Amino acid sequence: MSEIREHYSLLPENASRTERAFERAFGDLLEAIDAPFPELLDPQRTPAAFLPYLAADRGVHEWSATAPDSEKRATIAAAWPTKRLAGTRRALQMAVRSLGLEPEVIAWHRLNPKGDPYTLHVVAVNRNPLDADTQERLQRRLEAAKAERDVLTLEIVGETRGWAYIGAVTYDGDVTYVYPYAAEDTEVTGPFFIGLGLDVVDDATVYPLPQ
């Protein structure tokens, strides 16, 4: 930097030695200071006190001085992308997200029943209570992000999230009974024979011939 200042000076040719000495001393002081502009121009890193000035530099029209710093930074970060994409679904989504809401943009041909051409239904899912002032600010941001021919309808949905625990217990077991040993019934099978016998005895008496 010192070599550059030797060749490039803001002073005229007829500047005095004192003026050139002041210029050199002031230049040395500037070199000792780290350039703050990369941080100052970053919405996420700039100090909170500089947020209104950065918003004015980005051309933010919808601004709330009482909004949280996180919302202010999101608004500034979305300013230029929203303007570049104005009239598109993406621009509407960024306008909703800049206020910490989750968007869903439904085109007219996806509505049931089907809506009129160039009609858009915007659903903003909110996880925290939303006051009337924030709703009006959201509508103004959507008006700035939509195309001139588009007609918007806005639906704000409250959502609550938490943990749900489901548990199940199973108890399984077997019961075994032990009995003394008992022999099974014995069965004997085989052929069956039937026999029949007859014994006949005759008595004969012989007498003498009579005289």
CA distances (Å), 103 to each of 15, 73, 142, 180, in order? 62, 19, 11, 76
What is the structure's pLDDT at 201? 73
When pLDDT is averaged across residues 174-189 and rounded to a whole number, the result is: 76
Q: Which helix (H) or strand (E) holds 40?
A: helix 37-40
Mean pLDDT for all residues in the chain: 85
Between CA 64 and CA 83 the distance in angstroms is 19
**Residue 204: pLDDT over 70:** yes
pTM: 0.58
Pair 152, 142: CB distance under 8 Å:
yes
Instruction: Note whether residue 154 is domain-resident.
Output: yes
Whole-number pLDDT of residue 48: 94
Q: What is the pLDDT of residue 7?
A: 57
pLDDT digits (tens, 9 = 90+) for 130-139: 888 889 999 9
Tell me, yes or no, whether 52 lies in a domain.
Answer: no
Q: 């209570």: which residue's tokens?
A: 129
The total number of structural domains in the chain stands at 1
- Residue 31: strand, helix, or coil: helix
- The verdict on residue 103 lying in a domain is yes
User: Quick one: angle between helices 89-97 and 69-84, nearest 10?
Assistant: 170
Q: Of 61, 88, 87, give the one whose Cα is nearest residue 75.
A: 61
> Residue 108: inside a domain, yes or no?
yes
For residue 121, how far is the Cα from the chain centroid? 21
Taking a C-beta distance cutoff of 8 angstroms, is the pair 54, 37 a contact? Answer: no
Lowest mean pLDDT among 18-27, 58-67, 100-109, 198-207: 198-207
The domain in which residue 103 lies consists of 68-158
Beta-carbon contacts of residue 148 (< 8 Å; ≥ 6 apart): 87
Residue 117 lies in a domain: yes
User: Cα–Cα distance between 82 and 14 in angstroms, integer?
Assistant: 51
Between CA 41 and CA 57 the distance in angstroms is 9
Could you tell me which residues are beta bridge partners of residue 102? 125
Query: Residues of the chain with pLDDT > 90: what percent?
Result: 44
Where residue 1 falls among pLDDT bands split at 50, 70, 90?
very low
> What confidence category does residue 6 fall into, taking pLDDT thresholds of 50, 70 and 90?
low
* Mean pLDDT within 113-131: 88
Given pLDDT bands bounded at 50, 70 and 90, which one contains residue 89? Answer: very high
- Tokens 């019961």 — which residue? 175
Read off the CATH number of the domain in which 90 is found. Answer: 3.30.300
